[in-house]
Structure 1
């Protein structure tokens, strides 16, 4: 084989083919938008601020609204929850990119009838693992990309994320329209008391530092706040979700526990509420480097609900009991489904 042929073969392996079907290009565009939109909205905000015409027509009116609107933290996301926005075609492309699929181990009793009458419990869905960005939870729960309302009819659910992202002008409203809201105790209680369910990525930012390909290391032992929420509100089902493939969509560069890099990452997490793992995947036009996630299936398996009553004066023993039942159910679905999704040799590890 000549050198030129070798180079051609290498380029074909690295760069996207010009013969890529248009539908796959649309899928890549949808994912690129979602992983980049936080920066796009931030840049747009700066552009509006720097433009004299937009400063008075858009920025100042929006600033007044921004200062007084507390929707991300007061349960107001329920009013912003837009079925239309969640059903846009872009979310189908987003979910088909990986693809993302849902697997139910049982049917959940609806919270509302089609006539919007309250008939059942609400739920706290616990998503595992966090991975780098929990992209599977966004596609499956914050959009109709995999037909959430058909798979779980009558269970409107709000995904919860870091409160810091709601400080970005315009981006906050984009998230609220999708039913995404801030992960704080008071906000969660207010959403649940309006009979909307919530989804929490239990391991949080700290778990992203344990996001390793073909591993299942979870931060869960000490994460009991979601159980206390359920006990305080009552009539809540705790539903564990394990997302097989969430850790495979990015390559993560490991850092030693006592290294300067790891200490800096933990400092960021403690100081700002988020951290930045060292990771990479592919680019828009190439397959070997960039920050667009790899095309790898993300399969969300939903466990049976652990029903939690309302207890006025619950004890740590009560919390530990329901937390133990939750961990047991999460372990069950992981062990029953791991062979189906190529995790035969992987064990579920609770590292903290």
Structure 2
């Protein structure tokens, strides 16, 4: 492989963008492990009392990730997120106004490798969420495991991340005052294994838990599609049935998280690395689907609303794909 190095005269602005994305990739891949190691070292040091006090805080604060989290507008507005946005760049696109007196479940597609579009749009203010949707508070759902990691949990909650367990989603969309948005990456970890340039495969046919909760609490459903999300990373070939895919599926069943073998570019060269490509990601928020509250929805109710949701998602994609470089003959593959 011939290395293509970055030129030495790269403008400072682009270097800052790269640094912003580098810290984000580090946060996704290694910050949790570093925080856990720091806690263990603190517990084994002369400062063990601080570790004990923090452990007590964890016990007292254990329900926060399932009760709306603890967002920080200050953290969400850090200047670093503006550089993060401009690296790709990321764009948040509104199609209609949303009533701030209602609660919403945003069904996010596709998951991608590291959900860059969702993070930039819903965990920071760099894409202007609060300006475009005044009165709404977005919460991106994340696997419960990560909220057990000391220090790391407090950091990610500042951005609006909350646990993806059923009780957490129910808490958000059952608030009578409205204004809550629960952002659910419907395809989940398994969909990340299909994330590669050109891929339009969505794991959605058997994902109906969010549909049931929308009916139970009367939350409005909104399909969201991030055009360009799958273009950010390449991935080692892992077709269904291959030894690598079977191993990845096995690891996912054990750990609850997928292990996509992704790669893209580096910091100082463009040939390989874990930095995403500089490609535009446009996160388009569709029209809300009216939902009538049904405290005990039947399987027929769930299937009916699920079919409506899939139709709305398909229409959102078809109506917008030509704006974001998707060829007319390309269509979603709903698995």
Deviation at residue 273 of structure 1 after TM alignment: 1.2
TM-score (norm 2): 0.93
Which residue does the alignment assign to 2:33?
A: 42
Deviation at 1:230, TM superposition (A): 0.7
Measured at CA, do residues 21 and 323 of structure 1 come closer, stay the same or move farther in structure 2, by a change above 3 Å?
A: same
CA distance in 2, matches of 1:203, 1:44: 28
**Gap regions ≥5 residues in structure 2:** none
Normalising by structure 1, what TM-score? 0.89
Partner of 1:7: none
2:288 equivalent to 1:305: yes
Matches of 1:67 and 1:42, distance apart in 2: 20
Q: Distance in 2 between matches of 1:75 and 1:261?
A: 38
Residue 260 to residue 233, structure 1, CA distance change in 2 (3 Å)? same
Superimposed CA distance per residue, residues 35-89 of structure 1 (whole angstroms, 9 cap, x where no aligned partner): 1024134224424532565633532221221233213543141xx1211111111
Residue 219, structure 1, aligned to residue 206, structure 2: no
Mapped partners of 2:76, 2:171: distance in 1 = 22
Q: Do 1:215 and 1:346's aligned partners in 2 also have CA atoms closer than 8 Å?
A: no
8 Å CA contact retained: 1:105, 1:301: yes
Q: What whole-Å deviation, never above 9, does each CA across 1:82-135 have from its counterpart, x for those lacking one?
A: 1111111111111111111122221112x2xxxxxxxx2111001100111111
Match of 2:61 in 1: 69
CA contact (8 A) 1:48 1:54 kept: no
Task: State the partner residue of 1:264.
Answer: 247
Per the alignment, residue 6 of structure 1 pairs with none
1:32 aligns with 2:22: yes
**Who is 1:130 aligned against?**
111
**Residue deviations 1:190-237, cap 9 Å, x none?**
122233221000000011111121121000111011111111111x21
**Partners of 2:46 and 2:330 in 1: CA distance:** 54
Secondary structure in 2 aligned to 1:93? helix
After TM superposition, the structure 1 = structure 2 runs for residues 225-244 of structure 1, keeping only pairs within 5 Å, are 225-234=209-218, 236-244=219-227
3-state DSSP class of the match of 2:262? strand
Question: Is 1:204 matched up with 2:180?
Answer: no
Residues matched between the structures, number: 328
Matches within 5 A, 1:13-162: 14-38=4-28, 39-50=30-41, 55-56=47-48, 58-77=50-69, 80-109=70-99, 111=100, 120-162=101-143
Matches within 5 A, 1:171-182: 171-182=152-163
Alpha-carbon distance between aligned partners in 1 of 2:312 and 2:295, rounded to the nearest angstrom:
25
Cα gap change, 1:247 to 1:72, in 2 (>3 Å): farther
What are the superposed Cα offsets for residues 121-180 of structure 1, whole Å, 9 maximum, x if unpaired? Answer: 111001100111111101101110111100111110100011112222111101111110
Decide whether the 8 Å contact of 2:232 with 2:264 is kept in 1.
yes
For the Cα contact (< 8 Å) 2:92–2:128, is it kept in 1? no
Q: CA RMSD in A?
A: 1.7
* Alpha-carbon shift at residue 23 of structure 1 (Å): 1.2
C-alpha distance in 1 between matches for 2:171 and 2:62: 13
Shift of 1:270: 1.6
Larger gyration radius, structure 1 or structure 2: 1
Query: What do residues 250-305 of structure 1 show as CA deviations (whole Å, max 9, x unaligned)?
Result: 00122132222111111122222111112101111111111111111001111110
Alignment gaps of 5+ in structure 1: 1-9, 112-119
8 Å Cα contact 1:72-1:182 kept in structure 2: no
